[in-house]
Amino acid sequence: MNTGLSRPKDQIRWLLLEGISPSATDVLAASGYTNVQLLKTALDKDALKEALQGVHILGIRSRTQVDAEILEAAQTLVAVGCFSVGTNQVDLVSANRRGITVFNAPFSNTRSVAELTVAEIVMLMRGSFQKSMAAHNGRWLKSAAGSNEVRGKTLGIVGYGNIGSQLSMLAEAMGMRVIYFDQTDKLRHGNVEPTGTLHALLEASDVVSLHLPQTPETRGMIGRAEIAAMKKGAYLINNARGTVLDIDALADALKSGHLAGAAVDVFPSEPKSNDEEFLSPLRGLDNVILTPHVGGSTEEAQERIGEEVARRLVEYSDVGSTIGAVNFPQVQLPKGTENTRFIQVQRNTPGELGKLNDLFAKWKVNIAAQHYQTDGEVGYVVLDADGPVENAVTLLEEIRKLSGTIRARLLNRV
């Protein structure tokens, strides 16, 4: 695969889908990138294949699916920016094998999701949603029955990562007792306490809030048995991933009265556009707050995400730095030098680095600095040649001809 970014900035094509925040294009414009196509919607597979012809860098949010077939068809693609926290919409293994880096924004919407969760806890425990809908229908439900303060109640957080830990601090500030369950040992904040098992958390919590990534281990993690283990009259919130929770089991528990209410922002199957009908067994239940996957959809979060991912993509394009890539070796590179930088993504097999160094020795090019990291099936090599290199483009073509090269490019005066 002999494609790369060894070209002027105005010839590097960007495709940004799904209405990515203008903060991203502001970063690109300030960095000298002007060949940017913007679309407000996601694209289906065939349309995406066509749109990616000649595109070097793709920006998406959560609805666009970039699988192995898409990556195979996108011969010029070198990087994907997920303007979101998750990256499950991209086949990371296939991208890695093709030398395509994938970046995301793992922290930018943390506060937004935590704030929504706090609001839902209060709304659920006060029965505010049912009272609001009744008022819209002309009924006046002025009563304290079943309406409770959150102070003194126990919040159980399943998944104590960036969002879970942020939520714990907000909940404690409101006077809640906070416990958590996580598969890995985490640094605790405030007075939060871990539980030894998931079932111990479920049995002790007045509110259970899920904040898990989508992995094979978390798929279906909260099913009928787990919901049955929860306190009668407890509340369940899922602002994590739709595959974590058995929606049918939740609907049955709500209808039977075992759970007093729920709030769900993510679903196993979601509409691909605002024009498609949303289908769910939770529809019509007045003790359920349904939101259309907007946990991180605040203007502040989207602005931060736009800036963060765009800057990482610019750093990769301009300098070759891969800090923040989720499927690639992490390399932080200096900029502002007078060197000529050669970048090679190679197959991680014995002898490949030696072949590359032998080629530079053959061309009598002095190497001022070398950075090399491996990750899975690929190695990432950055060679800074001392000063300008005569016939650098020809040397680049020789690098691309090496049997282990997946892709290569060069940067002058980085």
HSE-up of residue 219 (Cα within 13 Å, Cβ side): 4
Known active-site residue 270: yes
Q: Which of 69, 115, 172, 270 is an active site residue?
A: 270
End-to-end alpha carbon distance in the chain: 24
Q: What Cα–Cα distance (Å) separates residue 168 from each residue in 121, 158, 180, 293, 360?
A: 12, 11, 9, 21, 54
Q: Which of 189, 199, 293, 347 is an active site residue?
A: 293
For residues 145, 146, 151, 156, the Cα torsion angle rounded to the nearest 10 degrees is 170
Q: Which of 13, 56, 61, 241 is an active site residue?
A: 241
Amino acid at 164: G
Burial (0-12, 13-18, 19+ Cβ within 10 Å), 394? exposed
- Alpha-carbon distance 283 to 286, whole Å? 8
Q: Which of 90, 79, 34 is nearest to 57 (CA)?
A: 79
Secondary structure class of 90 (helix, strand, coil): strand
Task: Please name the residues in contact with 276: beta carbons below 8 A apart, sequence gap of 6 or more.
Answer: none
Q: Which of 277, 230, 274 is nearest to 249 (CA)?
A: 230
Known active-site residue 177: no
Q: Which of 117, 414, 154, 319 is nearest to 238 (CA)?
A: 117
CA 200 to chain centre: 30
Give me the active site residues, please: 241, 270, 293
